[in-house]
Amino acid sequence: MSPKNKLPLKPLAWNGIVLKIPVTWEVESLDAGHMIIGDQGQAKTEIKWAEAPKKFILAKYLKKFISRSQKQLGIKIHEQATPESFSHLKAYFEFFFFSWESDTSTGDGTLIFCNHCKRLTMIRFFSKSSGLSKALQTSIIQSFDDHPEKNQTLWQVFGLNFPTPSHFKLQEFSFKPGRYGINFKYKKTKLDIFSWGPAEFLLSKQTLSEFAFQQFPQIIGFAKTGFCSHGSYLEWAFKKPRFKNAQMIPLLSHFALFNIFRICHDPEFNRIFGVMVESGKQFEHHIIKGSMLGDV
């Protein structure tokens, strides 16, 4: 193996899928079931995934997925034999290798069907235009997984690294410079993850508590403190009216939303992390304790 193939890899986890990519690669475009990963603006690989319908025949489903992908991406897909030397640690995956071509580029790829969660994933490498070696492509495919372990979905992107209970589904996300936010929902419970940075700058003229009040003016009361893996945190538990001035009507105060907000400054990463849990029933302490700012 040439030194080029021994690029150090880093984990990437998003909405159920987990894989390892070279450290210099970054996510260029992101959606709930799609991502483009590139290196300094040059696309290296595209990943697309979808849950299979409840009833399906794999061969027909694959054919449909391929034809839809060909139309969407403007490419032509040609089936290829699985390389003899290829193997994957997880037996529940089925691999279908292919090569693709468009008017401007060509490359290789694979379709991965998970017999466990019935998810179909397409990994398409921009092999020819970006000079990707076969060995690197193979190691990326071999690192692929799409199973939440211990009923937790892992999220590892743009320096964030946290698990969520797997029944919480992704609702919205935004990655703006200085402020990341990812929102999840399960039934009527909301879980929001935040990351702000650089913390050194944001906290140069105010305390962490003042910063929290600036971000969420609805916070009420005093904070309690504790320790999590990122350092010491501040936590507020407060009731929020469902709409403006609802607390003026006594009957409606029973229907307030129960909020817990935990915030922590991590000097090592130079970031401020925040977790907000909102529930219509009660204060969901167990969710916040199992979050990335959970107690140590």
Partner 1 sequence: MFKQKKPAMQKKEALLCIPEKNRMVEETILESGDLILSYQSMYKPFFLKVRKFMRPGAKNTFRRKIQLDKLGVHVWSLIDGQKDVQEIIKNFAAFHTLNYREAEISVTLFIKSLGEKGLIGIREP
**Interface with partner 1 by CB under 8 A: which range of 44-52, 166-174, 192-200, 208-216?**
192-200
Query: Residue 250, interface with partner 1 (CB under 8 A)?
Result: no
Query: Residue 41, interface with partner 1 (CB under 8 A)?
Result: yes
Give the end-to-end CA distance of the chain in Å, rounded to a whole number: 43
Residue 35 Cβ, how far from partner 1 at the closest point, in Å?
Answer: 13
Comparing CB distances to partner 1, the nearer of 7 and 27 is 27
Residue 129 Cβ, how far from partner 1 at the closest point, in Å?
Answer: 13
Residue 181 Cβ, how far from partner 1 at the closest point, in Å?
Answer: 13
> How far is the C-alpha of 102 from the C-alpha of 77, rounded, in Å?
9
Q: Is 258 helix (H, G, I), strand (E, B) or coil?
A: strand
Query: Residue 109, interface with partner 1 (CB under 8 A)?
Result: no
Query: Residue 269, interface with partner 1 (CB under 8 A)?
Result: yes
Rg (Cα) of the chain, in Å, rounded?
A: 22
> How far is the C-alpha of 216 from the C-alpha of 230, rounded, in Å?
21
Comparing CB distances to partner 1, the nearer of 197 and 294 is 197
Task: Give 21's strand partners.
Answer: 10
* DSSP E strands, the chain: 9-14, 17-22, 26-31, 34-39, 42-51, 76-79, 93-101, 106-114, 119-125, 152-157, 160-165, 169-176, 179-186, 189-196, 224-228, 231-240, 257-266, 271-279
Residue 176 Cβ, how far from partner 1 at the closest point, in Å?
Answer: 8
**Interface with partner 1 by CB under 8 A: which range of 54-62, 94-102, 241-249, 269-277?**
269-277
Q: Which residues bind partner 1 (CB under 8 A)?
A: 26-27, 40-42, 158-159, 175, 177-178, 197-198, 200-201, 204, 268-271
